[in-house]
């Protein structure tokens, strides 16, 4: 029993769609792996400071560098998608597979597989930007705070003045068996307008609302103003000094939450200008994925006999356009950062590839239906 022609055509389209989709995914995944590996090596070299200057082990260095991979992938995903599309279709042309596909069913399996691939890529981009990257950054900040806490704890050796940071000297007289510092002293000259001296009978490391602090008991703060040479001060029973103020670190509290938490909090208290800007920026990444993927598709989807071989690689053209668009986008992001009311402008650079897509599609005739083969006999 022979299946009807329409059923055969439908089965062929489904098989071709899955076949091309697999090629899209493999090509994009290979490029993403290479770029993420190079980015991870750079982050690994930057994290060497944890071992050489902060007394941490190799595991802390590797852990922090791995946490940076989601952010790297989020940055290069639009480029991986565009190059994955161009390399896949060009590969079909070089292997001559695209000619029977185009002659038989036209661009439909190519476009269907591209649509599925772009939808998956957009979902990945939104997941990275809105949830995975903020979570990874939070864990990086938490680890940095813990490392800084260890640094302060290790540097405050009893009876020894230690320079914790430039312009900041710290000392404790002795340490109790439970780890409490006795006889705390700190001298801070980082402020160009005044210096401050803090003394306390006891000091302990504590965490309050995800903020690491040095909790002081029974002490005093003395300020010296350079301009008028006057001194002022106050006494306290308890005083919490944020560890970020001591070590100049970015605490976990400074990291923006994932988008769901931001929206839940914003529904009650409203979003700040910084939070609104961050949400727009996270959405813009998915738009880059769509427009660059669409540009790459229209640049290579027209069958090419390869007789007049171009001297310029299509991949190079796609890469060049992606770099230019991203540079423009980075400039707009920096401009909008200082003017949060203009946050929607971050979408404009992501739309620039569309200025090339429509003329390219019209010139190559990609919007016309392909001719049917085999007339009536």
Give the per-residue pLDDT at 182.
84
Cβ-based neighbours of 130, under 8 Å, separated by 6 or more: 258, 259, 260, 282
Residue 233 CA to residue 231 CA, distance in Å, equals: 7
Tell how strand 162-165 and strand 181-188 pair up: unpaired
Residue 202 CA to residue 78 CA, distance in Å, equals: 54
Are 47 and 167 members of one domain? no
More confident residue, 328 or 171: 328
pTM, two decimal places: 0.74
Which of 347, 322, 327 is closest to 84 using CA atoms?
322
Are 16 and 139 members of one domain? yes
Are 12 and 115 members of one domain? yes
User: Is 377 inside any structural domain?
Assistant: no
Are 21 and 133 members of one domain? yes
User: Is 122 inside any structural domain?
Assistant: yes
Ranges 25-29, 53-57, 288-292, 334-338: which has the least confidence: 53-57
- Sign of the torsion formed by the C-alpha atoms of 262, 265, 270 and 273: negative
Written as one string, the DSSP assignment of 203-229 is: EEEEEETTEEEEEEEEEEEEEEETTT-
DSSP 252: G
Query: What domain count does the chain have?
Result: 2
User: Is 375 inside any structural domain?
Assistant: no
Range of the domain at 347: 5-149+256-364
User: Is 13 inside any structural domain?
Assistant: yes
Domain boundary pick from 223, 249, 275: 249
Are 121 and 48 members of one domain? yes
User: Is 317 inside any structural domain?
Assistant: yes
Residue 277 CA to residue 340 CA, distance in Å, equals: 6
Are 237 and 123 members of one domain? no
User: Is 113 inside any structural domain?
Assistant: yes
Are 196 and 103 members of one domain? no
Are 93 and 164 members of one domain? no
Largest CA distance in the chain: 106
Are 228 and 274 members of one domain? no
Give the per-residue pLDDT at 374.
45
User: Is 370 inside any structural domain?
Assistant: no
What mean pLDDT is predicted for residues 301-317?
66
Are 51 and 94 members of one domain? yes
Domain boundary pick from 200, 230, 249: 249
Span 99-149, pLDDT tens digits: 777 766 667 788 889 999 999 999 999 999 999 999 998 888 877 777 766
Helix (H, G, I), strand (E, B) or coil at 102: helix
């Amino acid at each position: 029993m022979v299946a009807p022609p329409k059923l055969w055509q439908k089965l062929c389209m489904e098989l071709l769609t899955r076949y091309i989709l697999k090629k899209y995914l493999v090509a994009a995944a290979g490029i993403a792996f290479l770029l993420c590996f190079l980015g991870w090596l750079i982050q690994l070299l930057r994290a060497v400071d944890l071992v050489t200057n902060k007394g941490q082990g190799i595991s802390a260095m590797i852990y922090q560098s791995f946490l940076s991979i989601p952010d790297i992938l989020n940055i290069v995903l639009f480029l991986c998608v565009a190059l994955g599309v161009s390399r896949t279709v060009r590969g079909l042309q070089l292997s001559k597979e695209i000619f029977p596909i185009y002659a038989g069913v036209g661009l439909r399996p190519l476009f269907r597989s591209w649509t599925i691939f772009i939808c998956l890529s957009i979902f990945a981009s939104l997941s990275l930007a809105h949830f995975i990257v903020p979570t990874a950054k939070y864990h990086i900040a938490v680890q940095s705070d813990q490392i800084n806490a260890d640094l302060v704890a290790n540097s405050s050796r009893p009876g020894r003045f230690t320079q914790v940071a430039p312009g900041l000297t710290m000392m404790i007289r002795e340490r109790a068996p439970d780890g409490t510092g006795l006889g705390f002293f700190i001298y801070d000259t980082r402020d160009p307008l005044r210096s401050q001296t803090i003394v306390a009978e006891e000091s302990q490391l504590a965490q309050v609302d995800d903020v690491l602090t040095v909790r002081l008991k029974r002490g005093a703060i003395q300020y010296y103003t350079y301009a008028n040479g006057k001194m002022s001060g106050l006494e306290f029973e308890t005083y919490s000094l944020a560890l970020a103020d001591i070590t100049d670190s970015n605490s976990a509290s400074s990291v923006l939450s994932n988008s769901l938490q931001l929206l839940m909090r914003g529904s009650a208290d409203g979003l700040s200008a910084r939070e609104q800007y961050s949400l727009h920026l996270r959405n813009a990444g998915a738009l880059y994925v769509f427009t660059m993927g669409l540009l790459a598709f229209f640049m290579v989807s027209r069958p090419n006999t390869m007789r007049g071989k171009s001297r310029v690689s299509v991949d190079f053209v796609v890469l060049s356009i992606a770099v230019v668009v991203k540079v423009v986008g980075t400039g707009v992001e920096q401009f909008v950062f200082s003017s949060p009311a203009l946050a929607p402008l971050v979408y404009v650079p992501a739309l620039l590839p569309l200025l090339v897509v429509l003329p390219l599609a019209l010139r190559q005739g990609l919007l016309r239906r392909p001719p049917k083969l085999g007339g009536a006999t």
